[in-house]
Structure 1
Amino acid sequence: MSSFWAEVALRAALTPDADCLVDDDRRLTFGALAADAEALAAGLHADGVTAGTVVAWQLPTTFETVVLSCALARLGAVQVPIIPIYREREVSAILAQTCPARLVVPGEWRGRDYLAEGRALGAATVLLSGLPRADPAGLPPVEPGGVRWIYYTSGTTGLQKGARHTDAGIVTAARNLADCLGLRPDDVGTLLFPYAHVGGGFLFLAAVLAGHKLVCAPRFGPPTVELLRREGVTHAGNGLAFHQTYLEAQRRRPGQPLFPRVRAFTHGGDPRRFTTHEALRREIGGVGVLSGYGMTEFPMIAEGRVDDPPEKLATRIGRACAGVEIRILRDDGTPCAPGEEGEIRARGESLCQGYVDDRLDFVDADGFFPTGDLGFLDEDGYLEVTGRLKDIIVRKGEKIGAAEVERLLREHPEVADATVVGLPDPVLGELCCAVVVPRDPGCAPDLAGLTEFLRGRGLMPHKLPERLELRPSLARDVFTKVNKPRLRAELTGSGG
């Protein structure tokens, strides 16, 4: 059985001088990464971190964060990565569930004092820059197996759920990604979205398996595009907002290829856009978008491949990854025919080992995970996702649970009733639209006021509504639920 650290150590032995990570002005080889990780592991071990110790970290996507995760993997610690945009509301719930021995933070970053925030929550908070190094000669070996990662979901019905992952599951997801993307040593990939996301871990490990470098950046913007161009990116990620930026940059330099070596654009999380796929393929190059389907509990369920037919890349997610079984079921639990829509269920080795809260439902009687998503498998076995059973909004690849935002909106003194829906957006994928019934139509709240109220209730900025619609009432069905399909159609002008 392989482990996260075993793969890092093997790559360091095979190609120690090859670049692993690059940013604006630094380069880190595989050999240097492994050596620094072992020295950090030794320092942490001397400070009491051993196999099974729970360590949480809330850090931006930097070389130092990757080194820390490798050091903890070397020790066999249980890591709890926390996405940097999470605020007190989310972080306090995660800490209460996992009870980490340490919370590692960056100090001040992007105007936030993470050290003060962590200490205010009562966590044993330490700075990443202050962690000790030591001689790794005496480090004990760590046996593979057991839960080593707890990744938290974005939250679909309120606060997040902690998915318990093994090294074997993360390694399997990484192997599947490397296989589908056809990764090789001369490739150049991107590590641009939060490394604390489950996708960060297996994307990094896929590059380790293939022996290629990743361009790393804690913030994405036009300067990052120039960095990708300089490094000769071949697989440019990691979602719709990134792809739109690439297209804008290419259109500012007609006749000059932005990414001459690009082979594909990786894509996950956002609603798919056929026009974006075609524009990338036509204007920049490569095969276009390679879509992926997975989730925090089960990364890499299905993925497009570099050798898939063009018509499949344009209209489907992809086929099930190696070792993954997908079922599409009707409401009565019977299997759907090819092309028939139903709930997507899946099982395979990269499925997590359940939730931190083991009272939550997890798999069905056959061991298949109910994704809560709707879709179909076509006659060739390609998956397409058509909708969601879960009431969530997917904004820039991150999920917003409608129930949480709605509950907080209804606490506003000027709000009689409220709901939120996701509306299509060409950059965000979906934007969060609040539909509010004022208590007094002559004194209706505005978007700025509602936003300030939600911030005060601890809602993280990512979940704040971008649009406000006022209504005299909300149409509800016989079960008193808001008719969101009808409301969404009305707001988008699509009829219904």
Structure 2
Amino acid sequence: MGGSDGVGGSDGVGGSDGVSLSSVFDRRVRTSPRAPAVRDVGGEPVSWGELGDRVTALAADLAARGVRPATVVSWQLPTSVEAIVLLLALCRLGATQNPLLPVYGDRELDFILRQARPALLIVDGADPARTAAARRVAAAVARDGAPIDVLAWGKDSPARGGPLAPPTGVAGRWYFYTSGTTSVPKGVVHADRAVLAAGRTLVERLGLRPDDRYGAVFPLCHVGGPAWQVAAMLVGFETLCVARFTDEAISALQDFDVTIAGAGPPFFLAYLAAQRALPAGRRLFPSVRAFPGGGTGRPPDLDARMVAAFGAGIVPTYGLTEAPIVCMGRLGDSPAQRATTEGIAAPTARLRVTAADGGAAPAGSDGEIQLRGDHLMLGYLDPELTAAAMTPDGWLRTGDLGRLDAAGYLTVTGRIKDVIIRNMENVSAVEVEQVLATHPGVTDVSVIGLPDGRTGERVCAVIVPAAADAPPSLADLTGWCARAGLMKQKWPEQVELVDELPRNPVGKVAKAQLRERYLPGADTAAAAPR
């Protein structure tokens, strides 16, 4: 295990069975027209037949606006029935869609629009401030290239607008952006093949059934969102769309009688808190049978706590924007496997672990996790990034450290890259440092991730203040990040003051020393409001 051939299913590097996401949807509409497909929190269920009619109507409207096969359409909408209709309509038209996380600010949007070059940007018309900001950014980007039509969803007619720019750029059905493993997000190009492979993995590992009820608490515009829609279309279960994860959302999941509840440690901890608040003997989710979710660094006792509270355990997943749900546990896994591993390779994925010299790491030894198979991206929008990320024999270098046991179960042990994983989203320490370094009250800065029982890791800024007697406060620094357009989940949550940063002989900041110094419990920690 862990050798050059890797472990897992078929190779599938370049092959495809010719099935599209749209064809899977059309088959489900024909098979189950009256069965419930999806609903919003507080809304009525929409059947598969009704969903098909709405997709057909919207596809016609978008075609009238000029959306064609390979037209790049960026969209930034909360998880909702309408967002699913849009996703499926764009699939029906063969457009290249670029889902954007709602938390992306002006800074990320500007970069993405300049690289992806969409002809159409769709934003939430219910948020006038965000719509105005999106129009402003799109206009600035368009001054350096082709115009970008902006549609305020729910306000503007999808069928009316100026002529769209012709399709350009890299072939592919999807442009997903990473949440920050470098100073800027990486544009990842996927075909339907990867999304379908991820969805099939969910069906196989969870034994999904038509009578399941899935709570979509993770953003639809995240790479895992379309994968869950594929699973729903393959099996025919109903989805509850959760636009914002709040106490009210947990109540809605309870009313929905959810059977599959995701999507990672922050959500699981919230479910446990809600369960503790109930009277003795009352179950929050009486019908739940699995808690699938990713996010390394989960507390080792979390699965046991979930089983004790709900009678169902965690089914761990591992993946990247570049290769979604490439590894996943199974319902029958042992408590130790659920607690400490991320499962085994998906049916059409392969994993290997390599030593520092590029050779195979022995079973049980740490090395870099590398991937290939149907889940793998076509490449990055930046070809230089693609060349750097792929090995000569076609494996993706993940930058993650881990080990494979003799049975093929993967344990993630660390990261090569300087990345903070907060609420299962990557935060680039370099990007946050670049923003904070421009603050007039900051002479030097280093950003590190510290363990956090709620979010996995929190962002800690260690700064050398320009004036020791008047250092910037945490509120000063988060306000500065907001004005710089940095998305909120990247803002520092803790600030520490030092006279100078520790550095190694070549001048690099000794971040390991800083992490040891500021582990949880330090008296100087100041928690940011959230």
TM-score by length of 1: 0.94
| C-alpha separation in 2, matches of 1:425 and 1:238 | 17
| C-alpha separation in 1, matches of 2:410 and 2:276 | 32
Say whether residues 1:386 and 2:404 are aligned partners: no
Aligned to 2:196: 171
| C-alpha separation in 2, matches of 1:18 and 1:221 | 28
Aligned to 2:135: 119
1:157-205 Cα deviation digits (max 9, x unpaired): 2111110000111111110111111111111112112111101110121
| C-alpha separation in 1, matches of 2:181 and 2:508 | 17
Aligned to 2:165: none
Unaligned runs of 5+ in 2: 1-17, 140-147, 161-169, 523-530
Say whether residues 1:104 and 2:104 are aligned partners: no
| C-alpha separation in 2, matches of 1:201 and 1:464 | 28
Determine which of 355, 363, 366 is the counterpart of 2:390.
363
Aligned to 2:100: 82
Moved more, 457-466 or 125-134: 125-134
Aligned to 1:6: 23
Residue 10 of structure 1 aligns with an amino acid whose one-letter code is R
| C-alpha separation in 2, matches of 1:35 and 1:463 | 40
| C-alpha separation in 2, matches of 1:271 and 1:208 | 31
How far has the Cα of 1:295 moved from its partner?
A: 0.7
Say whether residues 1:451 and 2:467 are aligned partners: no
1:14-49 Cα deviation digits (max 9, x unpaired): 111111112222211111111110111011112211
Note if contact 2:302-2:339 (Cα within 8 Å) is conserved in structure 1: no
Say whether residues 1:259 and 2:285 are aligned partners: yes
| C-alpha separation in 1, matches of 2:287 and 2:370 | 37
| C-alpha separation in 2, matches of 1:311 and 1:469 | 37
Moved more, 64-73 or 124-133: 124-133
| C-alpha separation in 1, matches of 2:503 and 2:455 | 28
Aligned to 2:32: 15
Q: Give the 5 Å matches for 1:70-469.
A: 70-109=88-127, 113-121=129-137, 122=139, 123-129=148-154, 130-132=156-158, 147-253=172-278, 254-286=280-312, 288-360=313-385, 361-469=388-496
Which stretches of structure 1, 4 residues or longer, exceed 6 Å deviation after superposition? none
User: Aligned to 2:426, what secondary structure does the other structure show?
Assistant: strand
User: Aligned to 1:203, what secondary structure does the other structure show?
Assistant: helix
How far has the Cα of 1:236 moved from its partner?
A: 0.6
| C-alpha separation in 2, matches of 1:56 and 1:231 | 31
How far has the Cα of 1:146 moved from its partner?
A: 5.3
User: Aligned to 1:422, what secondary structure does the other structure show?
Assistant: strand
| C-alpha separation in 2, matches of 1:28 and 1:479 | 61
Residue 26 of structure 2 aligns with an amino acid whose one-letter code is A
User: Aligned to 2:383, what secondary structure does the other structure show?
Assistant: coil
Unaligned runs of 5+ in 1: 135-144
How far has the Cα of 1:132 moved from its partner?
A: 4.1
Higher relative contact order (CA 8 A, sep 6+): 2
1:38-75 Cα deviation digits (max 9, x unpaired): 11101111221111111110111111011001000000
User: Aligned to 2:462, what secondary structure does the other structure show?
Assistant: strand
Note if contact 1:293-1:317 (Cα within 8 Å) is conserved in structure 2: yes
Note if contact 1:58-1:84 (Cα within 8 Å) is conserved in structure 2: yes
| C-alpha separation in 1, matches of 2:118 and 2:211 | 39
| C-alpha separation in 2, matches of 1:234 and 1:337 | 39
> CA RMSD for the aligned pairs?
1.7
Residue 358 of structure 2 aligns with an amino acid whose one-letter code is G
Say whether residues 1:52 and 2:61 are aligned partners: no
How far has the Cα of 1:439 moved from its partner?
A: 2.3
How far has the Cα of 1:270 moved from its partner?
A: 4.9
Note if contact 2:303-2:335 (Cα within 8 Å) is conserved in structure 1: no
| C-alpha separation in 1, matches of 2:121 and 2:503 | 44
Q: Structure 1 residues 429, 493: closer, same or farther in 2, change over 3 A? A: closer
| C-alpha separation in 2, matches of 1:435 and 1:119 | 36
Number of aligned residue pairs: give it. Answer: 482
Note if contact 1:41-1:133 (Cα within 8 Å) is conserved in structure 2: no
Q: Structure 1 residues 324, 494: closer, same or farther in 2, change over 3 A? A: farther
User: Aligned to 1:300, what secondary structure does the other structure show?
Assistant: strand
